[in-house]
Chains A and B, each alone.
Chain A
Amino acid sequence: MKNDYKKIALDGAIRNNPTFKLVLGTCPTLALTTAAMNGIYMGIAVTFVLMCSNALVSILRRIIPKEVRIPAFVLIIATFVTIVRLVLDYFLPDLNDIMGLYLPLIVVNCIILARAESFASKNSLLPSIADGLFNGIGFTFALTLMGAVREILGRGEIFGTRLWNFTIDFFGTSAGAFFTYAVFIALFSLIIGMVKDKKIKAEKPELFDLNAEVK
């Protein structure tokens, strides 16, 4: 049982990281990563919606008929996004302005629909909530990391604190967003590949032994 949750955590946050491995939910990733803090805000909003929608989809998975499941999922997600929007509008109106158009667009964020379809509609309540949480953490982590890099290089700041006066304006622009994202996906694939090689090497050293006889 404990192993199950460990697998969910590793799969959601690292091995199948929604942003760097699966390249889902690209619109907010590119648009909001001009600063590290924006990544955290967006990440928390998405994580909340992801956990709630996964929970509700999991509870209703035997009731929703297969033919209308996608519209039903979208309706569930839209409901939670509306809740987030109303809460933010009331308590943190500034935040609502930062996220602007991208807050309602959480509805069509492919990560949430993908998790509802591929995990929550097949699993029980607790694992589904855990899956939502760890995918959300993976997404938040990715956005914050990209935001930090673009903020440091583009504005010479980190979380709003000035570091130095050296800036490369390119990283603050939309072209810089595409470029940073491309570099991150490539680096992620490189690092995961290296870790995998190391694991195989530890388990089956003969595969890497050049002097071993080829059978």
Chain B
Amino acid sequence: MGQFLAIVVSAVFINNFVVVQFLGICPFLGVSKDFKSALGMGIAVTFVMTITCLITYPIYTYLLVPLKIEFMEIIVFIFVIASIVQMIEMVLKKFSPTLYNAMGIYLPLITTNCAVLGVAELVIDETQMINLLGISSMNMGYAVLYGLFAGLGFTLAIVIMSGLREKVARLPINKHLRGFPIAMIAACFIAMAFYVF
């Protein structure tokens, strides 16, 4: 239980993917204009990140390492991610059109989201994960849990951001600051809030 809590707190708050590790900034700035789409993007990313960890971790540990072709990891991972995204899209389209309508438009964007490739690269780096989570050794359960909660951390950040931006959009702001700069200043305050942890 203590271990579980450590992963949750570390992945969601202390090492938040967006505001502390700077992963997934593109969707964080691009898809955070309103609350609903931010939540949809967050859930879609969490889903893909969890499944990615579930597949890439065993591929790396049980396939690439024994075959001594670890250097292929980038190419293999990006292909796994692209196929997962494609497959989720097809499955959703077939079995759950409502969910597809809600999540569909965000799915193609996720392939090039650095948070997804980032989590796949992070969970195979054993020394870093041990430092981050304070565990004795890495295994697949931890990898999947970390993927899930890092995704939830992403969702939390993007949802907070969308709330702020909905308010900021109504303010009269200098035209050079409008758009990305003011969004980044909002992100700056969110990042400061995360220092509490």
A interface list, Cβ under 8 A from B? 23-24, 26-28, 30-31, 71, 74-75, 78-79, 81-82, 85-86, 101, 104-105, 107-110, 113, 173-179, 181-183, 185-187, 189-190, 193
Contacts and interface: CB of A to CB of B under 8 A. Distances in A.
B25 A78 contact: no
A189 B72 contact: no
B62 interface: no
A10 B57 CA distance: 44
A71 B86 CA distance: 11
A71 B181 CA distance: 32
A175 B195 contact: yes
B4 interface: no
Nearest to B183: A182
Q: Is the interface of B mostly helix, strand, loop or mixed?
A: helix
B180 A78 contact: no
B17 to A, nearest CB: 10
- Interface size of B as a range: 35 or more
B192 A175 contact: yes
Contact of A186 (B29, B177, B189): B177
B179 to A, nearest CB: 8
Contact of B180 (A74, A105, A179, A185): A185
B156 interface: no
A12 B177 CA distance: 23
A107 B185 contact: no
Interface of B: 19-26, 29, 71-75, 78-79, 82, 111-114, 117-118, 121-122, 125, 174, 176-177, 180-185, 187-189, 191-192, 195
Ranked nearest first, the 6 interchain pairs of A and B with the lowest CB-CB distance are A182-B184, A178-B188, A175-B191, A31-B22, A26-B25, A182-B181
B181 A186 contact: yes
A27 B30 CA distance: 13
Q: Of residues A86, A173, A178, which shows the largest number of chain B Cβ atoms within 10 Å of its Cβ?
A: A178
Contacts of A174: 19-20, 22, 191
A86 B71 contact: yes
B26 A110 contact: yes
Contacts of A110: 26, 112
A193 B117 contact: no
A178 B184 CA distance: 5
A27 B22 CA distance: 5
A183 B188 CA distance: 12
A22 B12 CA distance: 29
Nearest to B187: A178
Contact of A182 (B19, B21, B185): B185
Contacts of A82: 71-72, 74-75
A147 to B, nearest CB: 14
